[in-house]
Structure 1
Amino acid sequence: MARSSGGYVTVKMIGFFTTLAGKREAIVKIRSATTLEVFLKQIAKQLGAEFERALFDPELNDPRPRALILVNEREISVLQGLKTKVKPGDSIVIVPVSHGG
């Protein structure tokens, strides 16, 4: 996909994250490689307070209890977690996790 290379990262939202973001996909410009943690905090702020609250667990300040996150089609637990490097041309997918009880 030409739009996602050369300084851009494609972020796809699934489920209620799409509703909160108001779109299924965001093309985000980045200047250089950064950690997934920094990138997610930046994109969450851009997508609004409601999206940010839904993504990040307030006690842990961590998205992992609430979302399955893939970078280039690989779940981040098999990479370096939130320390995974995100660089221009990468693709991120954010999938909500629901827990029953």
Structure 2
Amino acid sequence: MAQLAHAGKLPATADVSSFVHVDDAASAAVDALGWPTGPVNVCDDEPAAGSEWVPVFCAAVGVPEAAVTAGERTGWARGADNSYARKELGWVPGRPSWRMGFTRL
């Protein structure tokens, strides 16, 4: 993503993304060995539109802010919901917001 941002090719759109820190993904993978079979969303608690997270990311990696692209979000780009992992399986992300990770880049 940093390479795309540096190349000016990271669009700030209405599409919503979810994030997960590598440490949270690794801990969930270990925890999943004891979970029931089936799909589980493992992500932070704050899905965000590109128009919100891309400018913060660009600032964090030291590149000019991307222009926000007007328009509707793509139907599939709605982010993920980790409530099943939290409520039913007891998994809690160590970094519950993408904002925490971006400020540490």
TM-score above 0.5, yes or no: no
**Which structure has more strand as a fraction of its residues?**
1
CA radius of gyration, larger in: 2
- TM-score (structure 1 length as normaliser): 0.29
